[in-house]
Amino acid sequence: SGVIRYHLVAEEWDIYMPDNSQATWKFYKGLLMTRLDDKFHVDLHVQADTAFLHEQRLWELRGRVKVRNVEGTVFLTEQLWWDLNKHEMWNHTDMTIISPERTLRGTEFRSNEQMTRYSVANSVGDFPVSDTDEATPETPTNGTPPDSASAEPVFSPMAPAPDKRQFVKTK
């Protein structure tokens, strides 16, 4: 189309073309790629220790793979696949996703090409949670305190408020 969409930086860029087939681009010494939107703003940063572009349609990124989307979320993994025809990315290895709100780790990652809508299976994460009035357990109507072995503690209105930031692990 003549429109600049990608900026590639590599120390070495090999092109392998077997008999009568599509070329495979090989970046054995690493790759730094930025993708540009229609207004030439960077919307994706991709970095990998090793990369391959198979038949001009399927990226295979290996090594320390780091992707940062337009929202600033960082994705870290050891292997990532990117299908340019289907406009999706995926992997079957460990993935760490770091955003300002949370850190998420898991496997079986799948995402859209912009890395803004994604799913992670077998996930574990840390993120802050705020206490709300609705989440505070109530004292029973008969005036007796709840059984301490079976209920969460009740906070007295006169007691100092608990820390509003709690970190919850999900699995």
Say which residues have a Cβ less than 8 Å from residue 157's Cβ, sequence separation at least 6. none
**Stretch 134-157: mean pLDDT:** 45
Q: Kindly state the average pLDDT of the residues 93-116.
A: 92
Position 108: which residue type? E
Please tell me the distance from the alpha carbon of residue 121 to that of residue 76, in angstroms, as a whole number: 15
pLDDT score recorded for residue 153: 41
Pair 64, 86: CB distance under 8 Å: no
The pLDDT of residue 132 is 66
* Best CA proximity match to 77, nearest among 99, 51, 109, 101: 109
Determine the pLDDT at residue 81: 97
CA distance 31 to 106: 25
Query: Please, which pLDDT band fits residue 134 given cuts at 50, 70 and 90?
Result: low
